[in-house]
Every structure is written in structure tokens, then in C-alpha cells.
Amino acid sequence: MIQFQPKKQSLAARTCISSVESRLADKMREMAFAGENVTPETLESHGFSREIVAKLGQRAAALARRQSIKRIDRHA
């Protein structure tokens, strides 16, 4: 007999935070590759509030760095 178990629902707030964090990281990468300075003031001009940048900026910067690194494995 097949039994179905309901999937546990994830927290909506965490999903929202990670979505904003990834958008902030994408914008940081885009600005950096375009040669723009990435500061709270310039991020504010791109639609992010200072509160969001202060709260999520460090984690978004780390995420942007991880996404910007290209890893090449050597196959021996």
C-alpha cells in the first residue's frame, strides 16, 4: 500500500531573506564586473535600502565571491 506523507513546509521568511540576499549578491557581481564601486550608497541607488545592505551585505558579498570563482579541476 502506498502512503503519502505531507512535505514539511519551509519558513517563508527564510526564503524571502535568501532571495533578497541572492539578488543583492547578483547586483554586487554585476557592478563589480562593470567596474563600478560597490558601496552601500551605490547599492542604494540600485534599489536596496541601507538597512538591507547593513543586514545582508556581508553574507551577500561572500556569496558573490563564491559565485565569481571559477573552479577548474585537472583530470589526471
> Residue 67 is inside which H or E element, if any?
helix 50-68
Domain ranges of the chain: 29-68
Are 16 and 55 within 8 A, CB to CB?
A: no
Q: Is the dihedral of CA 44, 57, 31, 20 positive or negative?
A: negative
Q: For residues 42 and 48, what is the distance between their CA atoms, to the nearest angstrom?
A: 9
Q: What is the pLDDT of residues 12-66, one digit of tens each?
A: 566 777 899 999 999 999 999 999 999 999 999 999 999 999 999 999 999 999 9
pTM above 0.75, yes or no: no
